[in-house]
Amino acid sequence: MNNPSPTAWIDAETFTPLATADVVIVPVPYEATTTYRKGCQHGPGAILAAADQLEYYDVELGQEVCFQLGIAIHAAIADSQVQPDLTPEAMVREVERALQPLLAAGKFVITLGGEHGITAGVVAAYQAQFSEPFTVVQIDAHGDLRHCYEGSIYNHACVMRRLVDRGIPTLPVAIRSICQEEADLIAQNQIPVVWDHERGSDWIEAAIAQISTEQVFITIDLDGFDPALIPGVGTPQPGGLSWQVGTQFLKQLFCRKTVIGCDVMELAPLTDSVVSEFMAAKLVYKLIGYQALATGKLI
Ligand SMILES: [Mn+2]
C-alpha cells in the first residue's frame, strides 16, 4: 500500500516515495513575465501549505481519496528564488526535461505554477511521451493567444499561441478577455472557444462534443474561475466558472475522456486572505480524485 502520511495528504517530507507513487505533484515556482500583480512564484508553496489543512475525505466521492493511491511531491523545478536569472526559454526546456522521466514511468503528473508560460514546457514533455494526439483543454479568463507580448514569445500571455503554432488542438473555456489579434486568430484557425458569456445550461455537453481526440491535457489558469472565489491571481477578470460548475466540467472530462495530465497555474497569494490557495489546493485534490475515479482506483 502506498499510503500517504496519516497527518497530511500532501506533505513533502512524509509522502509516498516517488518510485511507488501513482500521482506526482511537480511545483514550478517560476515567475518572470507576469505583467500586472506579481507573486505567482509563491503559488506552489501556498497550495501545498493549504493542502495540509484539507480533509482526506472527499464528500462527493464518498471516501478518503488519498488512501486509494500514492501521491508524491517532486522537488521544485525552475524556482525563481533559486535561479533568478533563468530565462523563460530556458525554463520551458528545464520543465520539459524534468517531466519527461516521470511521464515515461507512467506517473500521473499535476504541475503547479508559477506563471502560465510554464505550460509550454509541460505540454512539450507530453508531446514527447504520447504518440497519440491530445487536446489541451484550457480553463482561463484570457486567450493567451498573442504571438508576442512585451518583447517575448514566452510571455504568459502567449502560451496557448505556442501550442496552436505546434498544431495542438485546444479547447479554451470561460474566456472573457482577448485582443483583436487573438480574435482574428480564433476566427482564422476556427478554435472552438467556450466563451464565458455564452455558457448556457448545456455548455458542458457541447464543450466535450467539440473535443476530437480521446486524450486530453487540462491546463487551468486559476483566473478562469470567478475572481470572487480566487481573488489571488495576477490579472483577474469578472465572470468565470463557479466551483460547482467548474468541478462538474472537470469530472465529466475525466470520466468521458482519457486525461493524461493537468496543470494548475497563476496562483499569486494575497497577504490578507487564504481563500485562493485553499480553493486551489482543493481543486488539485479534486483532480486527483477524478483521476482515481476514472481509472478505477476508488473503492
Ligand atoms: Mn492564462
pLDDT in tens, 149-198: 999 999 999 999 999 999 999 999 999 999 999 999 999 999 999 999 99
- Establish if 48 belongs to a structural domain: yes
Q: Which residue has the cell 471516501?
A: 63
Overall domain count for the chain: 1
Q: How far is the CA of 36 from the centre of ligand 1 (A)?
A: 13
Q: Which three cell numbers stand for residue 6?
A: 496519516
Q: How far is the CA of 231 from the centre of ligand 1 (A)?
A: 15
Q: How far is the CA of 127 from the centre of ligand 1 (A)?
A: 20
- Establish if 232 belongs to a structural domain: yes
- Establish if 105 belongs to a structural domain: yes
Q: Which residue has the cell 506552489?
A: 44
Percent of the chain whose predicted confidence (pLDDT) is above 90: 87
Domain enclosing residue 213, as ranges: 18-294
Give all strands of the β-sheet with 134-139 in edge-to-edge order.
71-73, 23-28, 108-113, 258-265, 215-221, 134-139, 170-175, 194-195
Q: How far is the CA of 14 from the centre of ligand 1 (A)?
A: 33
Report the pLDDT value the prediction gives residue 13, as an integer from 0 to 100: 44
| Residue in 113, 124, 179, 99 with CA at minimum distance from that of residue 146 | 179
Q: How far is the CA of 16 from the centre of ligand 1 (A)?
A: 31
Write out the E strands in the chain. 23-28, 57-58, 63-64, 71-73, 108-113, 134-139, 170-175, 194-195, 215-221, 258-265
- Establish if 6 belongs to a structural domain: no
Report the pLDDT value the prediction gives residue 10, as an integer from 0 to 100: 52
Q: What is the mean pLDDT for each group of 10 consecutive residues in the chain (299 residues)?
A: 40 67 95 89 95 92 91 93 95 97 97 97 98 98 96 94 98 98 98 97 97 98 98 97 98 98 98 96 97 96
How many C-beta neighbours within 10 Å does residue 137 have? 26
Model-level pTM? 0.95
- Establish if 49 belongs to a structural domain: yes
Report the pLDDT value the prediction gives residue 35, as an integer from 0 to 100: 77
Q: For residues 224 and 176, what is the distance between their CA atoms, to the nearest angstrom?
A: 9
Q: How far is the CA of 203 from the centre of ligand 1 (A)?
A: 21
- Establish if 56 belongs to a structural domain: yes
Q: How far is the CA of 140 from the centre of ligand 1 (A)?
A: 5
Q: How far is the CA of 6 from the centre of ligand 1 (A)?
A: 35
Q: How far is the CA of 291 from the centre of ligand 1 (A)?
A: 23
Report the pLDDT value the prediction gives residue 33, as an integer from 0 to 100: 86
Alpha helix segments (H runs only) across 135-241 = 159-165, 180-189, 203-209
- Establish if 140 belongs to a structural domain: yes
**CATH code assigned at 92:** 3.40.800.10
Q: How far is the CA of 265 from the centre of ligand 1 (A)?
A: 8
- Establish if 106 belongs to a structural domain: yes
| Residue in 198, 289, 231, 210 with CA at minimum distance from that of residue 37 | 231
